[in-house]
Structure 1
Amino acid sequence: MRYVNRTVAATAILALVAGGALAEDKKTLAIVVKGLDNPFFEQINLGCQDWAANNPDSEYECLYTGPASSADESGQVQLVDDLITKGVAAIAISPSNAPAMANRLKEIAPSMPVMTVDADLSEDNRSLRATFLGTDNYLMGVMMAEQAQKLKPEGGTVCLQLGNVAADNINARAAGFRDTVAGAKGTDRLTGEGGWSEIEGCPVFTNDQIDLANQQMADVFTTNPDLDAFILIGGWAQFAPQAYAQVTDQVMDKLKSNELIIIAGDTLPPQVQAFNEGRSHAQVGQRPFEMGQRAPDVMIDLINGVDVGDPLYTGLDVCTHDDPGFCSQ
């Protein structure tokens, strides 16, 4: 898996689009993520840049953008509104708040192709987009549950850490986790199914805020000293290596003995480092670079009326200490 650590002034690029200052005669393929403050999305940006570097003669430009903060749901909706009004050729959206984004798309009724990437619209609104490109998020939750079951075959107490309450991709992972350990579809909360019970006060919602994610972990560990498993449905806390190290320092003895297990989503470089330091037991990684790299070609196909299929899944990678895979040092 390919990861590169560098940033791009996406907001400046958006300003160029607004002013018509991108390369002459280039049409814009826009990728709008939840927020520019999340390093996961920077990998989508790098995929977008890679596509541009490999297609210099294309009539299209790949534009990566999003609100400054992942918590700015209304800002993302407004940004999508602005891009559609300005007339981009196609747009790929990772909606923070799926219902809010769907409501605005219904109001705008855009004429250009709209797809989703990374996160989808809610099932009852998926007719508003042409296709979804990204992770099979329910399967990702299933795989996280399988790791928990291997490590804790008798089950135990668990806390799930989620992101935005209305993020379809995160909710799908939580559903996959709960259904798998419960052995039944449609499990809203674990209350002993398969030996697993969610503790009081959980799940916790980070609203995609990295500092809040670490504070929540610390609070849960302090108030629940007998907790058996903490599941980071997304990788938020691990995106701040120093803070995450401080939080996990307080439970390192339990982590080493498997008394407490941590399973986390994603495999960005700081997360791989945390895994190798024994600060998690398994990482289930998405492929965001591939999402950014493929999205422009999918949008071009949609513009040209090609049936691209729906959904378009990118793969998943699992790192465990028995089989670290690409996470090995």
Structure 2
Amino acid sequence: MNKFSVLVAAAALALSASPALAKKQLVIVVKGLDNPFFEAINQGCQKWNKENPTSEYECFYTGPASTSDEAGEAQIVQDMLGKADTVAMAISPSNAKLIAQTLKTAAPSIPIMTLDADLAAEDSALRKTYLGTDNYLMGYRIGEYIKEKKPNGGTFCSIQGNPGADNILRRAQGTRDALSGQKGLPALKGEGGWTEVDGCPIFTNDDGAKGVQGMTDILAANPKLDAFAIEGGWPLFGAPQPYRDLVKPLADRIASGDFVISAADTIGDEVAIAKEGLVTALVGQRPFEMGYKAPSVMIDLIEGKKVDDPVFTGLDECTKDTVDTCIQK
């Protein structure tokens, strides 16, 4: 082999190993990798990859180790936006304001969308679309299940996640609106017959054990509490046995409708807990579908195609009587 042939062969080898030939990254950044809800999103993302092996694009899933690390999520967004192979991004903002500020500072030229959780309304221009649950409707349905069992009202406590998470705030507002019959009240003080007890809402930072402890404390201070509105399923899927231990003594009250627990999500042990009669109703999301659809939506945005805003993925509602058929397959 002459010198020229050697050089050509070396150049070809270098080109074959070049990062430029790596797939373009459709990045999904979630609130935290410690949450089974987001793992379901990852499974959807990976299914898309398996079904599109020859695509020039690849779905890449990432996020901070913990859902409580809001700054970590913002840093990952900033870092991934700085990579040349990131061509679109879907973000589930743990802290909507912080992620909005990160996007304003980075001023990305690639399409940005939100997934699962949205930015605040005033920052919506920073993203092209939102893909996920209609969170207000979800919270409203959580409230309706409570109201159905206790039409004359009572006392309740809302269990929430991160104080800055727009999706949870929308759910909580939907619940209050359903219970009160009014719109936009920041707290209920007898409207519609419902009162939020002192110490509520409980913010769990998406930690199941913290959620169960918060519920324990509220019940100790309010033994005649009428209802919990759990705006994310953290206590049930994040700490299922402690949740069962706490709620089992209340099973008869739940069965009679005297005490109501209406909760979000249908993942992990939640459906089994519903079958056991330890929650009144579950209003579930479709995280797998979110992760599976996100790459296709990002590609449409890259190609300049019209994309609806928002793109809702629907709800699955489960009670003890419907657990065998309530989840969309």
The AA in structure 2 aligned to 1:302 is L
1:206 aligned to 197, 204, 207, which one?
A: 204
* 1:196 match: 194
The AA in structure 2 aligned to 1:226 is K
Residues 108-166 of structure 1, C-alpha deviation per residue, up to 9 Å, x if partnerless?
10011110000000000000001000000000011111111111111110000011111
The AA in structure 1 aligned to 2:257 is N
Quick check: 1:272–1:327 contact (8 Å CA) kept in 2?
Answer: no
The AA in structure 2 aligned to 1:221 is L
* 2:264 match: 265
Residues 21-78 of structure 1, C-alpha deviation per residue, up to 9 Å, x if partnerless?
9894310001000000111011000000111111111101111111000000000000
Change (3 A) 1:22 1:219: farther
Overall identity of the aligned pairs, in %: 54
Output the CA distance in 2 between the equivalents of 1:82 and 1:269: 31
Q: 1:321: how far off?
A: 3.2
Quick check: 2:117–2:132 contact (8 Å CA) kept in 1?
Answer: yes
* 1:4 match: none
What's the secondary structure of 1:309's corresponding residue? coil
Output the CA distance in 2 between the equivalents of 1:233 and 1:249: 21
Q: Does 2:313 correspond to 1:311?
A: no
Counterpart mapping for 1:211-226 below 5 A: 211-226=209-224
1:119 aligned to 113, 117, 121, which one?
A: 117
TM-score (norm 2): 0.91
Q: Does 2:41 correspond to 1:41?
A: no
Q: Does 2:62 correspond to 1:97?
A: no
Quick check: 2:275–2:319 contact (8 Å CA) kept in 1?
Answer: no
* Count of matched residue pairs: 309
2:66 aligned to 61, 64, 69, which one?
A: 69
* 2:23 match: 26
The AA in structure 1 aligned to 2:23 is K
2:228 aligned to 227, 230, 240, which one?
A: 230
* 2:132 match: 134
2:159 aligned to 161, 184, 190, which one?
A: 161
Which has the higher mean CA deviation after the structures are superposed, 52-61 or 317-326?
317-326
* 2:52 match: 55
Q: Does 2:298 correspond to 1:299?
A: yes
Q: Does 2:57 correspond to 1:83?
A: no
TM-score (norm 1): 0.91
Output the CA distance in 2 between the equivalents of 1:279 and 1:59: 47
Q: 1:269: how far off?
A: 3.3
Output the CA distance in 2 between the equivalents of 1:262 and 1:251: 10
* 1:283 match: 282
Looking at CA atoms only, which structure, 1 or 2, has the larger radius of gyration? 2
Unaligned runs of 5+ in 1: 1-19
The AA in structure 1 aligned to 2:118 is D
Q: 1:325: how far off?
A: 5.4
Change (3 A) 1:322 1:70: same
What's the secondary structure of 1:28's corresponding residue? strand
What's the secondary structure of 1:326's corresponding residue? coil
Q: 1:327: how far off?
A: 4.7
The CA RMSD measured in Å over matched residues stands at 1.6
* 1:13 match: none
What's the secondary structure of 2:214's corresponding residue? helix
Change (3 A) 1:94 1:21: farther
Which has the higher mean CA deviation after the structures are superposed, 258-267 or 129-138?
258-267
What's the secondary structure of 2:269's corresponding residue? helix
Output the CA distance in 2 between the equivalents of 1:169 and 1:129: 15
Q: 1:254: how far off?
A: 2.5
The AA in structure 2 aligned to 1:312 is V
Q: 1:300: how far off?
A: 0.4
